[in-house]
Amino acid sequence: MSAFWNVVAAETFKLVRKRRTYVLAGLWWLLLPSLALILGRVLVSNFAASFANEAGGVDLAVQTIASPYGIALIGVVGPAYVSPPFYVIVVAALAAVLIGEERSHGMWKTILVAQPSRLAVLAGKLVTAMLVVGVLLGGTLLSGVAFGAAGTLFLPTTFAGDWGGLLRTYLLQWAFTGAIVAFAFLMVHLARNVAVGLILVFFLPGLLETLYTVYATTVGFQPINRFNVFLQGIRLRQVLEDLPTYFFTANVYAPARAPVREVAAAFTAEAATEGLDLAGLLGSNITLERAAIVAGAYALLFLALLTWRFLRADID
């Protein structure tokens, strides 16, 4: 056990000495809350006294965007909706430092002599990544509250909000990020090159999912070719049609995307009449329980592959 904690201590020490850690924290902790406050101020300045606010719509929007609760919520929801998602960017950056850098700087030969237990080294690095993601998410929550509190001084906002639900969202998204950490570590380790590894982390899931979508759209799963006849024969057609609900990106951001479900639900009925799957587009139509199982399965698969490869790898 001490070997594991030694690795955690060493890797934490390294990340503290790494400038990139502070850049990531700065982006997450300062940029989004600042933008939210600026947007809130712009809304108040331009529309608070106008007819648009007769029913209190502008005040509601400012409360949603720039209140302490609103900014903290944006801090966890927003990163799931940028492309590539900010969670992947953060985790890929950590994987580059914790796994990729060891190869590019030739450090494995030092690390694995100082700490010969490869299992402890791998587990320590993974746990360090999760701890850092936790610190970054926790900091996001706190900075959101701090910026929002500052905003109450010059904006018509309050501290109202479902704080318990928000905390749960943060904790769940942190746990789900474990699957992304496992995936990023595996890709960076397999690629044997940090740049190639990062490209794989950013784009491989999206590429595979897009290829599936193209196939499903252009060919579909009707028995019009031998391939689909075969799939029907082995009773896989329905599974393939349901495949998007098992997609990596659809599941690992499920907690962060869940708050959007309510918004989506309000528009879904209307959108459905026009043949538009709004909830599907927003990725918010997967239940958290199911997403947890799928993300957990991904994490286990990636961890098993990573461990198998890492324990056997020759260090050249």
Partner 1 sequence: MPETPPSAPGRQERLAALGGGVSRARAAAPAGASMATGPPAARAAGTDARASERGPAPLGAAEARMPAIIAHELTKRYGRALAVDRASFEIERGELVGFLGPNGAGKTTTLRMLAGLIRPTSGEGRVLDRRVPGPALRRVGTMIEEPSFYPYMTGRDNLRYAARLHGGVPERRIDEVLDFVKLDRASSKRVKAYSQGMRQRLGLARSLLWSPDVLLLDEPTNGLDPAGIAEIRENLREVAAEGVTVLVSSHILAEIEKLVGRILAIDHGKIVYDGPLDALVQRIDAGAVSFRLRATDGAALLAALRDFGLEPEPDGERGARVSAPAADADALVARLVRAGVDVTEADRTGEDLEGAYLRLIRGDGRPS
Q: Any contact of residue 2 with partner 1 (CB under 8 A)?
A: yes
- Which residue among 47, 81, 108, 310 contacts partner 1 (CB under 8 A)? 108
- Report the residue count for the chain: 316
Q: Which stretch binds partner 1 (CB under 8 A): 149-157, 185-193, 218-226, 307-315?
A: 307-315
> Which residue lies nearer to partner 1 by CB, 110 or 210?
110
Please give the C-alpha separations between residue 153 and each of 66, 67, 69, 159, 160, in angstroms, as whole numbers.
12, 11, 15, 12, 15
- Separation between Cα atoms, residue 173 and residue 144, nearest integer Å: 16
> Which residue lies nearer to partner 1 by CB, 8 or 32?
8
Task: Tokens 């286990």: give the residue.
Answer: 300
> Which residue lies nearer to partner 1 by CB, 114 or 272?
114
- Separation between Cα atoms, residue 146 and residue 316, nearest integer Å: 48
> Which residue lies nearer to partner 1 by CB, 3 or 171?
3
Which of 168, 170, 147 lies closest to 159 in space, CA to CA? 147
Q: Any contact of residue 7 with partner 1 (CB under 8 A)?
A: yes
Which of 169, 131, 122, 124 lies closest to 302 in space, CA to CA? 122
DSSP string covering 21-50, please?
Answer: HHHHHHIIIIIHHHHHHHHHHHHHHHHTTS
- Min CB(122)–partner 1 separation in Å: 13
Q: Any contact of residue 3 with partner 1 (CB under 8 A)?
A: yes
- Min CB(312)–partner 1 separation in Å: 7
**Interface of this chain with partner 1, residues 17 to 46, rule: CB under 8 A:** 17-19
- Min CB(11)–partner 1 separation in Å: 8
> Which residue lies nearer to partner 1 by CB, 47 or 108?
108
Please count the residues of this chain forming the interface with partner 1, following the rule CB under 8 A: 30
Residues 6+ apart with CB under 8 A from 133: 90, 91, 94, 174, 177, 181
Q: Which stretch binds partner 1 (CB under 8 A): 13-21, 55-63, 149-157, 261-269?
A: 13-21
- Min CB(9)–partner 1 separation in Å: 5
**Interface of this chain with partner 1, residues 110 to 169, rule: CB under 8 A:** 110-118
- Separation between Cα atoms, residue 61 and residue 50, nearest integer Å: 14
Residue 117 carries which side chain, given as an amino acid letter?
S
Report yes or no: 66 and 148 within 8 Å, Cβ to Cβ. yes
> Which residue lies nearer to partner 1 by CB, 163 or 310?
310
Report yes or no: 32 and 75 within 8 Å, Cβ to Cβ. yes
Q: How many CB atoms lie within 10 A of CB 239?
A: 12
Over the window 77 to 106, marking each residue x when it contacts partner 1 by CB under 8 A and - when it does not, the resulting string is ------------------------x---xx
- Separation between Cα atoms, residue 209 and residue 200, nearest integer Å: 13
> Which residue lies nearer to partner 1 by CB, 167 or 313?
313
Where do contacts with partner 1 occur on this chain (CB under 8 A)? 2-3, 6-7, 9-10, 13-14, 17-19, 101, 105-118, 312, 314-316
